[in-house]
Amino acid sequence: MSGEALLVKPRGETREHIAQRVADLAARFSECLAQFQRGEAFPGPSLYFHLRTISRLQSHRDANGVLEDEQYFEYLYATLTSWGLHRMGPGNAKLMDFSVFMESARELFKRVSGFFGRSILSLDDHEVGEAAAVIGDAIGRQTGLTKAESVLVANSKAVHHFLPDLVPPIDRAHTLMFFFQRKNPPGSAKETFEIVFPHFVKIGKSTSRLIREAVAKCASAQGPTGWNSGHAKVMDNALIGWVRLHRSQREQ
């Protein structure tokens, strides 16, 4: 059975494993978010440029204004670099030259611009599948941001900075380990996103008050609390906290 076939129809044990972790994260959401904040994860340029990018995004009233703002893309370029998507030396962890990157990011964002300003906390049930399909297709289809063969991580992190309340950034060490207990996507970028996104919606529905409170406190925050910059990022932070909490418990 191919990886893609497995992802389209996960085995019962895989579905049960994901459901159990999602339920545990939702039940222990405050604890996991506190664990993330205690760890003071990703300081310095990672947080600085992330917040500058989000601030620049929020200065625009509509998607077209963002797409025409070169400084926004410069901040995004710096953010993704500081988030580990461009490294010196050999390897494929390289962003494209800025001009190519910017045009590719514009095309990616145009594909998902219909969801501009939306929150994962307010999606109706009938909208979840459509959002997962449209955004997953855009993430899986667009090339030109990175030289890496797999576009899931780079494209999801880019889209997060265009739809910060809707799309959580996906990484290997935390997101994929949480859902699949592996660092490599078990199928295509589109299929992987279509699997994980509805589970994030479930988490959001059961923890919406906590998420909104965290974002409200972020406006004037410094340090790790500043990472609670959007509804989707709060969920990502709690997920990272869950992974780190369980990792520390296993090491005891």
List, for residues 103-146, the tens digit of each pLDDT value: 999 999 999 999 999 999 999 999 999 999 999 999 999 999 99
Q: Is residue 128 packed enough to be buried (19+ CB in 10 Å), middle (13-18) or exposed (0-12)?
A: middle
Question: What is the Cα–Cα distance from 170 to 153, expressed in whole angstroms?
Answer: 5
pLDDT score, position 13? 66
191 pLDDT higher than 50: yes
How far lies 9's CA from each of 19, 51, 218, in Å? Answer: 15, 38, 39
Mean pLDDT (whole number) for 139-154: 94
238 pLDDT higher than 90: yes
Q: Which of 9-13, 91-95, 208-212, 223-227 has the highest mean pLDDT?
A: 208-212
> Can you give the residue range of the structural domain that contains 156?
3-251
How many C-beta atoms surround the C-beta of residue 112 within 10 A?
23
How many residues does this entry show for the chain? 252
156 pLDDT higher than 80: yes
175 pLDDT higher than 60: yes
pLDDT score, position 87? 74
pLDDT score, position 248? 60
pLDDT score, position 225? 73
pLDDT score, position 2? 35
List, for residues 20-37, the tens digit of each pLDDT value: 999 999 999 999 999 998
pLDDT score, position 3? 37
Higher pLDDT, 12 or 155: 155
Structural domains of the chain, count: 1
pLDDT score, position 6? 42
7 pLDDT higher than 50: no
Per DSSP (E only), the strands in 17-128 are none
Ramachandran class of 41: left when φ > 0, alpha when ψ lies in -120 to 50, beta otherwise: beta
189 pLDDT higher than 50: yes
Question: What is the Cα–Cα distance from 152 to 142, expressed in whole angstroms?
Answer: 10
pLDDT score, position 4? 39
90 pLDDT higher than 80: no
List, for residues 201-232, the tens digit of each pLDDT value: 999 999 999 999 999 988 655 566 789 999 99
1 pLDDT higher than 60: no
Q: Is residue 103 packed enough to be buried (19+ CB in 10 Å), middle (13-18) or exposed (0-12)?
A: middle
